[in-house]
Each structure stands twice: as C-alpha cells, then as structure tokens.
Amino acid sequence: MTIATKIVDWAALGDVALISLAIGLTVTTTLAIAVRTALAAQDQSAEGNSGPALVNRVIAGLAVLAALSVFVLGIYEIAAK
Amino acid sequence: MSASRGTGNFTRVMSEDILFYLVVAVALAFDFTNGFHDTANSMATTIATGALKPKQAVTIAALLNFAGAFISLTVVATIAKGIVDATAITPSIIFAGLAGAIAWNLATWWFGIPSSSSHALIGGVVGATIVAVGTGAVKFDGIASKILVPAVIAPILAGLVALISTVVVYRIIKGIERNRAERGFKWAQIASSSTVALAHGTNDAQKTMGIIVLTMISTDRLPASGFDVPVWVIVACATAIALGTYTGGWRIIKTLGNDVTEVRAPQGFSSESVAATVILASSHFGYPLSTTQVVSGAVTGSGEARPGNKVDWSVIRRIVVGWALTLPAAAAAGGAAEGMVELFGEDNPAVGSLIVAVLGAIACFFLWRANQKSKVDPDSVVEFAPGPEPVAVAA
C-alpha cells in the first residue's frame, strides 16, 4: 500500500467528484431551464398564446420540483444516516 | 486526617465541576463563532445579489442552522476521532483546544478570511494535545487524510463544477433581458443558499455537541457507549450556532460576496447550488469536505465563468494563505492555551483554565472595541449594486 492510497480514500473521492459533477450540473441546468421556460410563459401569456404558455409553465413547475427534490433527498440522506 | 481528605475530595469534585461547566461554556462560545464565521457560506452571494436583504438573509440562515442541528447526530462523539489518541484527551486539553480554535476563528474573521472552523477546532485540539502529552498521541495520517487532502480537493472540485455549471446556465439564459433573468434566479438562489445553511447546521452544530459529549464521557457524566445525546446539549448547541449565524460575520460576507468577484444572481445561484450538491454528496459518501472551502471554490469558479467578469486573485491568494495557516496557527494557539493552563494551574487545571478563560474574555472585549471603530455591518456589507449588463454567452 503506497502512502497515497493509505491517506486518500480514492474510491470515495471519485464518487464524490462524479456525483457532484452529475447532480450539480443537473440541478443548475434544470433550474435554469425552469427560469427560461417561466419567462417564456410570461411572454406567451402577454401575447395571448395560452396553450404554449401553459406547456412552459408545466415544464417550469416540474423542473423546480425536480431540483428541489434533489436538495430534499440530500438532506434526508444525512438525516437517515 | 479524614477531615483533610474530605476537604480534598470536595475541592477535587468542585474543580471537576468547574472545569466541566467551563468547557461547556467555551464549547458554546466556539459554536457561536462557528455560526457567525460561516454565515457567509450560505448567504454571502445571496446578500451580494440583493436576493435577500442582509438581515433577512442572516435570519433565514440562523433558523435553518437551528433546525439543521436537530436533523442528525451522526458526527457526535466522533470529533477528533482519528486525529488524536482519544484516551489521552482530558477536559483541560479540550478546553485549551477550543480556546485555540476560537482565537483563530476570531483572527480570521477580523481579516475577513473564510477559513474552516472545523480545521481550527482540530488544529486547536492537536496543539493542546502535543503540549500536554507529546506528539505520540497525534495521528498524522489522520490529519493528512481528513484535513490536508480534502483542503486541496474541496475548492478545486467545487470550483470546476461551478465553472462548468455557470457556463451552462449563461448559455441557457442567453438572449433574455438581464433584469428579468436575475429576478427568476434570485428565488432559485434563495433555495440553494437555504440548503447550504441547513446542511451547515446539520454538520457543524454536531461538532460542538461532540465536544460536550466527549467531556461528559471523560467526567463520567455519560457512559462511553450506548448513550443518548442529552436534549439540553442539542438545544444549547443549536441555539449557539443560530445566534452566531444571526449575528452575521459581516467581514467574511463582504469578502465572499464582494471582494472575490462581483456576483450576479445566475452566477450566485450556480455557485450555491453546486456548493449544496458537493456538501451533500460528500456527506453521503462519508468524505466530509469543509463547507467554507467548498463555497469559496464555487464562488471563484462561477466568478471566473461569468462572461466579462473577473476574479480578484489577490483575494484568493489571501484566502488560500489563511487555509494553509489554519491548522498550524490554531495548533499553536491551542498549544499556548494548554501551556498557560499548566502554568497557572499546575496542581489544579480548573484554576488554570479559569484564568485562561478570563484572559480570553478580556481579549475578546478589546477585539469587540476595535471592531466598533472599523465596523463592517449590514448597511456597509454590499459595496455596489450590480449595474446594467446584457446577459451574454460564455466564449
């Protein structure tokens, strides 16, 4: 066993890096999409396009729910340990 | 003869009681400094972008830190485990370690450096242990694996993820008028900052609970195994960290929210979301990273990624120097405190600890007086209001 493997848990570190990258990117992208679609829905409502506006609102709502549930799950994981 | 023995026993028990209550008081004082030192982690960018007013931000952070302290108790009684030989720890060593950690927390707060309170605590305990029983009781492998390596990894990992996330976010909102986009992201930013505050309370309040529980075990107030953490310990620690958070470490908030880089809502949202994710992921995989270092790295990464923005690398250098100094400086302070405890209380550590506590309180008073003269407060913490700038896409 080398000093590097002795003092660093490379497996755990790799998991943290991969999950952070994957979930971090997913959460920020999802919420950015939520903002984009919510603003688009506002514009479409103002223009009288209620159909597309409703679709965008639903997408925005689902995106917010998805991102928030990741945070809630994360906290739950800590609490459940 | 028996009267003299009776008096001796009474004095010993009194001394143990005094030392125990002193350790509890100093532990709660450390918890308080931990709170105000780390308010910036969750709320600096939120305050900087105007998503929340300073007082609103610290109130929410305080409430979530308080709530977070009740969520989990897994870290309790594991503090300093793997860092020093637990059988060598005495209440006076814990006291001296806490005194060293508080001293370093206050010093870094004074200079506005967001350093890790946990590293300060471990440094203080290590320094006090070395002075009390020698280097043989210190597990240097544990220090390398639990502090040094994570200290390098945390900011780099968070910085890289935040950098990529910010680039992606700005691509998604390309073409949207800036003020509209920022309004939307401010809500998202409040949610992500609140998650960081809750995670912080969950992790950091437990460290002080661990210290108090350790002291209770070492003074036979709790059994070494199969104990429940007393409710008063949980409530006291939650209250101390929440009060500290509410006080707001405005100097550090200014550094993270203003001095490192100019923060806009999409970028602040990106950095806090990534910070929350990295903190939660690292907790899940049992590889705890410093919240402070994660957030600092994320703020830097997102600042570097925002089109047309600059990061002040001289501030980053100052922060990194602070991180590098945290362990040795807190250890030196903890060692000095232990030396003073032994000097003033050769026969009775309670007396030495009491004298050190009084000297520490006097030093805190003078620091508070000095702070009144060059105060950073909620009104002065935000130095600029973000001016108009079209949302552009990263090159």
Cα B169 from Cα B234, distance rounded (Å): 39
Closest CA to B311 of B383, B262, B265, B261: B261
Q: Give the model's confidence band at A57: pLDDT under 50 very low, under 70 low, under 90 confident, else very high.
A: very high
In chain A, which residues have their Cβ closer than 8 Å to the Cβ of B268?
none
Compute the nearest-CA separation of A15 from chain B (Å).
7
Min distance A29 CA to chain B CA atoms (Å):
6
Residues 6 or more apart whose Cβ sits within 8 Å of residue B75 = B203, B206, B207, B209, B210
From B145, B168, B202, residue closest to A25, measured CB to CB: B168
Task: Tell me if residue B84 falls in helix, strand or coil.
Answer: strand
B344 three-class SS = helix
Q: Once rounded to an integer, what is the mean pLDDT over residues B256-261?
A: 86
N residues, chain B: 395
- B6, pLDDT greater than 70: no
Residue B386 has pLDDT above 70, yes or no: no
Pairwise CA distance, residues B39 & B57, whole Å: 9
pLDDT tier, B394 (very low <50, low <70, confident <90, very high otherwise): very low
Residues of chain A neighbouring B287 (CB-CB closer than 8 A): 9, 12-13, 15-16
Region A13-37: mean pLDDT is 88
Pick the residue from chain A with its C-alpha nearest to B71: A79
Q: Rounded CA gap, B330 and B104, in Å?
A: 6
Of B69, B265, B249, B262, nearest in space to B181 by CA: B265
Residue A24: closest CA among chain B residues belongs to which residue?
Answer: B274
Average confidence (pLDDT) over B5-34: 83
- In this prediction, residue B79 carries a pLDDT of 59
What is the per-residue pLDDT for B80? 55
Which residue shows structure tokens 């030495």?
A: B352
From the list A29, A35, A71, the residue facing B184 with the nearest CB is A35
pLDDT at A30: 92
A15–B285 C-beta distance less than 8 A: yes
Highest-confidence segment of A16-25, B126-135, B258-267, B277-286: B126-135
Q: State which residue of chain A sits closest to B198, comparing Cα positions.
A: A75
pLDDT reported for residue B242 = 95
Mean pLDDT for A40-58 is 90
CA B63 to CA B238: how far, in whole Å? Answer: 9
- Tell me what the pLDDT averaged over chain B comes to: 85
- Determine whether the interchain pair B161/A78 forms a contact, defined as Cβ–Cβ distance below 8 Å: no
Helix, strand or coil for residue B261?
strand
Give the separation between CA B197 and CA B190, rounded to whole angstroms: 10
More confident residue, B75 or A44: A44
Q: How far is CA A33 from the centre of its chain?
A: 10
> Residue B15: what pLDDT?
78
Q: How much is the average pLDDT of B357-362?
A: 94
Average pLDDT, integer, range B28-41: 92
ipTM rounded to 2 decimals: 0.84
pLDDT bucket at A3, cuts 50 / 70 / 90? very low
The count of other CB atoms within 10 Å of the CB of residue B310 is: 10
Q: Which amino acid is at B163?
A: L
| One-letter-per-residue 3-state SS of B112-154 | CCCCCHHHHHHHHHHHHHHHHHCHHHECHHHHHHHHHHHHHHH
Helix (H/G/I), strand (E/B), else coil: B207: helix
Q: Are B202 and A78 in contact (CB under 8 A)?
A: yes
Tens of pLDDT, residues B372-381: 887 777 777 7
Mind listing the pLDDT tens digit for each residue in B272-326?
Answer: 999 988 888 877 776 767 888 999 999 999 999 888 888 899 999 999 999 999 9
Where does the pLDDT of residue B57 fall: very low under 50, low under 70, confident under 90, or very high at 90 and above?
Answer: very high
Confidence (pTM): 0.86
Query: Which amino acid, one-letter code, is at A25?
Result: L
pLDDT at site B16: 81
Interface test with A, best of B168, B273, B293, B391 (most A CBs within 10 A): B273
Determine whether the interchain pair B168/A32 forms a contact, defined as Cβ–Cβ distance below 8 Å: yes
